């Protein structure tokens, strides 16, 4: 069988914020991801889905049944082994990303975004793999002085800059 490559659209109207990555030892990783996200930012609501190669199922965990369902459905739709999906509300990726990356069994982060998203996926006889992510639309110009001021004001408004 030849390798088949395709893109999988993930509409972020389905979710709010999303982190997609890959790890190993799924039965432990999903528990560690739960603890990492839950303790990283007070009030975050989230769900995690992670695909396990054996016994070929999607594990799920979260503090929101709705988000747990969305995350596990997206992980299953992606179908790649050891890939995890974290969907969450009431926080930005910047609030939880370092905690996720610090989990010892996390091998890779493909994206952390609230943008429209497409995953580039390869499929072989063995299974699927995420090759990368198309995160949002392409840039068309370099920011102006006014746009830079607006960016800095937004950072202040969100509490990331004084």
Q: Name every residue whose Cβ is closer than 8 Å to that of residue 122 and which is 6 or more positions away in sequence.
A: 3, 4, 5, 128, 129, 131
Whole-model pTM: value is: 0.93
Q: What is the pLDDT of residue 5?
A: 92
| Structural domain includes residue 140 | yes
CATH (domain of 41): 3.40.1520.10
Question: Is residue 162 domain-resident?
Answer: no
Residue 84 lies in a domain: yes
pLDDT band of 2, cuts 50, 70, 90 = confident
- On whether residue 119 sits in a domain, the answer given is yes
Q: Give the number of domains in the chain.
A: 1
d(CA 57, CA 59): 6
Domain that holds residue 140: 4-157
Q: Give the end-to-end CA distance of the chain in Å, rounded to a whole number.
A: 56
Q: What is the mean pLDDT of residues 46-75?
A: 96
In a domain, 113, yes or no: yes
* Model pLDDT for residues 93-123, shown as the tens digit of each residue: 999 999 999 999 999 999 999 988 999 999 9
**Mean of the per-residue pLDDT values of the chain:** 94
């Amino acid at each position: 069988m030849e390798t088949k490559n395709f893109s999988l659209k993930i509409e972020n109207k389905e979710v709010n914020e999303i982190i997609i990555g890959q790890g190993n030892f799924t039965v432990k990783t999903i528990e560690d991801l739960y603890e990492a996200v839950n303790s990283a930012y007070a009030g975050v609501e989230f769900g995690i889905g992670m695909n396990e190669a054996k016994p070929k199922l999607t594990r799920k965990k979260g503090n929101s049944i709705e988000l747990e369902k969305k995350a596990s459905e997206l992980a299953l739709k992606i179908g790649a082994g050891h890939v995890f999906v974290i969907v969450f509300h009431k926080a930005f990726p910047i609030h939880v990303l370092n905690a996720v990356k610090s989990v010892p069994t996390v091998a890779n982060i493909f994206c952390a975004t609230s943008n429209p998203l497409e995953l580039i996926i390869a499929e072989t006889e063995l299974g699927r793999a995420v090759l990368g992510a198309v995160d949002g639309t392409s840039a068309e110009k370099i920011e102006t002085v006014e746009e830079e001021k607006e960016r800095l004001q937004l950072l202040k408004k969100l509490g990331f800059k004084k």
